[in-house]
Amino acid sequence: MNLRRDVFQAIADPTRRAILLLVASQAMTAGAIAANFETARPTVSKHLQILTECDLLEQEQYGREIYYRLNPEKMKEIASFIEPFRKMWDDRFNQLETIMKQIQSKKSE
Amino acid sequence: MELKTKVNAAEGKMDLTITREFDLPLELLFRAYTEPEIIEQIMSNPYSTAKLLKFEGRNHGSYQQESTDAQGKVVFRANGAIHEFSPNRKISRTFEMENTPFGIQLEIYEFEALTDSTSKLNMHVIYESVDQRDQVLKLPFAQGLNMAHNRIQEIAGKLK
């Protein structure tokens, strides 16, 4: 598969985020997804292609129809990507709180 | 469980917010940003010791800080200009990591009292571009991977 796109670039677009929300509840065909948007069908197809290329969506064939569904593993990757940054600040703030509490209790002694 | 520290970084934006509630009165929280000895203590960790080379906690002030490892090697140096310094209320400053490609970031710290014994910090950080913000966001992620990698090498080395 051609992985030329960055996941974060993929979710930077509001329409693509809306598509991810749509298929989060159930797998849908391209036609059913497109019916939810004012945008032209080929534009939606392009969005679906990008989301599929970066593994956020998976395609599944049922008879003659292709269904798109969310790839939860890839979504987890996005959620965890910010987590080390948050953790770094959380650690820093925890240290601040501990040190200031020591100062506070020393003062009241 | 509700997270004490929250990071909000919307996709495609060049800024982010960090919020944290502290089990500290407002005055004590603000002191953590005003007294050089306390700042150094907070910025230090088991692997590096922080030192303020310069610190002017006032309007139109500036600062420079560095961290050294156990061998005394400088591992990190940053500086910036302090734009506004309003006690117990607000600090706005620039922040730049020296000798890195991450550019300058504008940081706005807002302090507020929640109760007599609790307080809240709202940080708004604005970067030079979306790309630069994402680079900085990915930094701890990459470091985490590096650390995990080093740890694996360390363990693997012992197995030899």
Of B7, B24, B144, the CB nearest to A100: B24
Starting from the edge strand earliest in sequence, which strands make up the sheet with B15-22, in order? B5-8, B15-22, B119-126, B104-113, B90-97, B74-86, B61-69, B48-55
Of B7, B32, B144, the CB nearest to A96: B32
- The owner of tokens 């800080």 is B65
Are the C-beta atoms of residues A11 and A20 closer than 8 Å to each other? yes
Q: Is A97 on the interface with B (CB under 8 A)?
A: yes
Q: Is B1 on the interface with A (CB under 8 A)?
A: no
Q: What is the pLDDT of residues B116-154, one digit of tens each?
A: 999 999 999 999 999 999 889 888 766 665 555 565 556
Q: What is the pLDDT of residues A14-67, one digit of tens each?
A: 788 889 888 888 899 999 999 998 888 899 999 999 999 888 999 999 999 999
Nearest-neighbour CA in chain A from B117: distance (Å): 11
Of B6, B12, B38, the CB nearest to A99: B38
Mutate to test the interface with B, among A86, A95, A104 (most CBs of B within 10 A): A86
In B, minimum Cα distance to A91 occurs at B5
- In a shared domain, residues B42 and B83: yes
- In a shared domain, residues B81 and B154: no
The verdict on a CB contact (< 8 Å) between B22 and A96 is yes
Which of A37-41, A97-101, B12-16, B95-99 has the least mean pLDDT? Answer: A37-41
Helix H or strand E encompassing B22: strand B15-22
Query: Which one, of B92, B95, B72, B74, lies nearest residue B83 by Cα?
Result: B92
What's the structural domain count of chain B?
A: 2
Which pLDDT belongs to residue B143? 66
The verdict on a CB contact (< 8 Å) between A95 and B45 is yes
Range of the domain at B134: 130-160
- In a shared domain, residues B84 and B152: no
Residue B21: CATH number of its domain: 3.30.530.20
- In a shared domain, residues B18 and B29: yes
Which pLDDT belongs to residue B3? 74
Which pLDDT belongs to residue B157? 63
**Contact list, B5 vs chain A (CB under 8 Å):** 86, 89-90, 93
Entry pTM? 0.68
- In a shared domain, residues B117 and B157: no
- Chain mean pLDDT for chain B: 89
Q: Is A81 on the interface with B (CB under 8 A)?
A: yes
State whether ipTM is beyond 0.90. no
